[in-house]
Amino acid sequence: MQRGDPGSKPPARRGQKTKTLHRGANTRKMQERGPSRHSAPRETGTPDVHGFQDLFRAFMDNGPAIAWLKDDEGRHVYLNRALQQRFYDGSKDWYGKTDFELWPPEMAARFRESDLDVLGAGRTIDVVEETTNPDGSRSWWWNFRFPFRDSSGSLYVGGMGIEISERKRLEAELRKLAEVVHHSGEFVSLTTLDRRIVYVNETGARMVGSSPEKMIGTSALEVVHQPFRARVLNEVVPALAEKGCWEGELEYLNLTSGEIIQAYAMIFVIHDPETGAPLYLANTSRDITDRKRAEEALLRARDELEERVLERTAELEKAYLSLKRETEERQSLEERLRQSQKMEAIGTLAGGIAHDFNNILAGIIGFTEMVEEDLPEDSHLREYVRRILKASLRGRDLVKQILTFSRKAEHVKVPIPLSPVINETCNLLRASLPATIEIVLDVRSASDQVRASAVELQQILMNLATNAAHAMMEGGGTLNISLDEVDLTPPVPLADPEMKPGRYLELVVTDTGEGMTPEVMKRVFEPFFTTRGIGEGTGMGLSVVYGIVRSLGGTITVESEPRVGSTFRVLLPEAGAGAETEAPLPHRIPGGTERVLFVDDEDLLVELAHDLLESLGYRVTAVTDSAQALRIFSSDPSSFDLVITDQIMPGLTGINLARHLLGIREDIPIILCTGHSATVSPEVAQEAGIRAFVMKPLSKEDLAEVIRAVLDVGTVQ
């Protein structure tokens, strides 16, 4: 920055001088030194000495600049009003004092050094200086110091300063803006009106294979590709003259590699803000080479595609239809996957709730059975107890439905033919449905075996058929039930991402009833969701079907249209030949006298089990802590004939407790009970050496049968 430029910092002989001004006293009147030896006689109309001093002070105090005066020893003899108001509040008497009496030593030393520079140079020196304001903020000043002598020959240093803080702030902002422009991702340049480059940023120079230093002063046309130079002269220049701006596509030439750079340019005129005269031409250009290449490739591909369409229309139509079908199938699979994940989450929640209900129901059922046994046959309380037991058993059945939906209910699965189950279920339906509903059966499967239980299959078909019949109760209609084989080996797409390729049996139940809206279809498998009135259903039927189908490795989908009807499609993996019958239920077993260790973290169930097992004749040790049970067993392993443990407990879970017990005594029979467990199945329990895996709640009779089966037979499947 050149000396005298208020927006620039001039070079200083001893570096920049930054002063922090402190507050001082109000200005004193300048001390009169007596008449000057060189005073000229006062002419008529000319102010006398005192009048001239007043005129001088008025002149200095009403100007925007700050001003000060020191003698050659650095003592302050004058400050104007602007300086006093800015930096002094009357707290110090500045007259006659040096900088060392008013300022910190380091500041005073710099001020004195500046004064000596002026006195030594014998001429005016201007410098941009930073000061500290009384409130602690910083400000910038363009200060002029100059030496002079009074009429007596005494030497003084005078000073005047103009604040340029706002200009410095704007300069800083401009430097930031220039930095942003310089490192912008676009070509930015500034040229004279005759297109000579005065500025170009790094990106622009790099784009054309040069450097900003080399490009300054050259013609902007040198980096424009030759075919486009005529366009600049014939189109861009007239547009700038007429409208002051132009935008469009240009091509630049990389001077190093010879590469053609395609760009989208915006060129506009910069005018003098005061006169409006044009000063410069500004250019911002964005590299669109890659985009243009992509567009050209796309155009070539389109042309090639059009040629292929003309030559092979039929083949392309087939490919298009195939692509459309695959897209629709993918979207359908994605929607089913989302629905599956949603139902999985609901199932997990339902299973957890079912566990707590099972523990509650186990206590209610057990104690109710014990109360019933102790009541006299003619007691009027027996009827109340039977009603409690009946309601509890209904609650147990509802929990079983919830567990079926959440796929936590366990059934023995064997290869079983599906068509007999369909025929039997249809016979039941014909006897129960009104005559206005016609049942049409179509079984076309030669091999119709699936790995399941008859109870599960009948539950699937009965719930679907009942749901369809309810949709046709008012106006009647047709209930179609069909069974067929489908081959879902590749490349046939699977209906569900979790399904495995192979052969499946497709069970389809269709009605001609009232149908469903899309909103209802999305929620049709949610538990407790129903469109029926109060007392007409629990909303668990289709949820149970969903849970059973998923547990069998299959999938279920629904299609429906309001006032047309609904179709449910169930796909179940085919099991092949070799059907087996389900294992018969064990017969009822009486009690015994064996020693039983019972473990459950529920106090109510421990109390119930103790009384119930003792009523069956067993000698019982019942505890609520699995760690305590392990200590009791470890102290005398031979004192127990059977261990019955809950699965979900604090500390050791049932299966972990069983592993510890079997590690101590490998022949100890163990029964594992649970109301719900996502981590333990009958297979896992059997691998751990557990003899029986049962779901709570159990009636007294069920528990007695399981105990005798384990003690007498050795295991219960």
Same domain, 604 and 674: yes
- CATH number for the domain including 617? 3.40.50.2300
Q: How confident is the model at residue 411 (pLDDT cuts 50, 70, 90)?
A: low
Token pair recorded at residue 704: 């007695």
> Average of pLDDT values for 313-336?
72
Q: C-alpha distances in angstroms, 537 versus 437, 531, 611?
A: 20, 9, 38
Identify whether residues 276 and 203 lie together within a single domain: yes
Mean pLDDT of 616-643: 94
Query: Does residue 27 sit within a domain?
Result: no
pLDDT tens digits, residue range 673-695? 987 666 678 888 889 999 999 88
- Which has the higher per-residue pLDDT, 207 or 401? 207
Which of 380, 459, 431, 358 shows the shortest CA–CA distance to 699? 358
pLDDT band at 716 (very low <50, low <70, confident <90, very high): low
**Same domain, residue pair 446 and 549:** yes
Question: Which residue in the block uniquely carries the two structure tokens 């800083």?
Answer: 172
The most confident of 206-220, 364-378, 587-601, by mean pLDDT: 206-220
Mean pLDDT for the stretch of residues 38-46 = 45
Residues 564 and 678 in one domain: no
Backbone angles phi and psi of 307, in degrees to 5:
-65, -40
What's the pLDDT band for 568 if we cut at 50, 70, 90?
Answer: very high
Q: Would you place residue 338 in the very low, low, confident or very high pLDDT band (cuts 50, 70, 90)?
A: low
**Confidence (pLDDT) at 503:** 87
Cis peptide before 697 (omega within 30 of 0): yes
Same domain, yes or no: 702 and 558: no
Average pLDDT over residues 650-678: 90
Q: Is 283 in the same domain as 350?
A: no
- What confidence tier does 397 reach under pLDDT thresholds 50, 70, 90? low
Cα–Cα dist 329/327, whole Å: 5
Confidence band, pLDDT 50/70/90 cuts, at residue 40: very low
Determine which of 141-155, 308-322, 680-694 has the lowest per-residue pLDDT on average: 308-322
Q: 7 falls in which pLDDT band (50, 70, 90)?
A: very low
Highest mean pLDDT: which range of 2-11, 518-527, 548-557, 565-574? 565-574
Q: Are residues 459 and 554 in the same domain?
A: yes
Structural domains of the chain, count: 5
Predicted pLDDT of residue 14: 37
pLDDT at res. 429: 79
- Parent domain of 421: 414-573
From edge to edge, which strands make up the β-sheet containing 503-511? 437-443, 477-487, 503-511, 565-573, 555-561
Give the bridge partners for 245, in sequence order. Answer: 268
What does pLDDT average to over the chain? 80
User: Is the pLDDT reported for residue 494 higher than 60?
Assistant: no
Model pTM above 0.85? no
Q: Determine the average pLDDT of the residues in 141-145.
A: 91
Does residue 24 lie within any of the structural domains? no
- pLDDT over 60 (residue 536): no
DSSP 546-611: HHHHHHTT-EEEEEEETTTEEEEEEEEEB--S---PPPPPPPP------EEEEE-S-HHHHHHHHH
More confident residue, 412 or 143: 143
Same domain, yes or no: 112 and 194: no
Question: What whole-number distance in Å separates Cα of residue 569 and Cα of residue 507?
Answer: 6
pLDDT at 254: 92
Give the mean pLDDT of 365-373: 80
Mean pLDDT, range 504-512, rounded to an integer = 92
pLDDT of residue 378: 84
Q: Does pLDDT of 668 surpass 90?
A: yes
In a domain, 541, yes or no: yes
How confident is the model at residue 34, as a pLDDT?
Answer: 36
Residues whose CB is less than 8 angstroms from the CB of residue 422 and which lie 6 or more positions away in sequence, other chains included: 441, 443, 461, 481, 483, 507
Length reported for the chain: 717
Of 337, 365, 394, which residue constitutes the final position of a domain?
A: 394
The pLDDT of residue 84? 80
Residues 543 and 421 in one domain: yes
Among residues of the chain, what percentage have pLDDT more than 90? 30
